Amino acid sequence: MSESTRVTEKGQATIPKELREKYDLEPGDEVVWVDTDEGIVVQKRTRTSGRGMLVPDDISEGKRAEIADELAQRVRDRRDRNYEEI
């Protein structure tokens, strides 16, 4: 499918209805603009939460909790060191 739309003075462009329906795009969804050698590619952002950004999705819940605890402890340790320096 190929359809053109215009870019407004504010830099906005309308996603054609057929594509919004095909890719289940709804108000509030985010899209990612990717600059490629062939031009601009627009993709629906599939990750809406921060989950998996620091840890891969295939990690078990137990391991994930362990990593979260370790990161929280590192933050506390760093904060405590910063307070000691003041």
**Same domain membership, residue 68 and residue 85:** yes
Q: Which two tokens stand for residue 20?
A: 């919004």
Residue 39 belongs to a domain with what CATH number? 2.10.260.10
**Same domain membership, residue 62 and residue 33:** no
**Same domain membership, residue 59 and residue 39:** no
**Same domain membership, residue 67 and residue 77:** yes
Average pLDDT of each block of 10 consecutive residues along the chain (86 residues)? 90 93 90 90 74 66 84 88 73
**Residue 25 is part of which domain span?**
1-46
Residue 86's pLDDT is 65
CA torsion sign for 67, 73, 74, 76 is positive
- Can you give the pTM of this predicted structure? 0.49
**Same domain membership, residue 83 and residue 63:** yes
Residue 64's pLDDT is 80
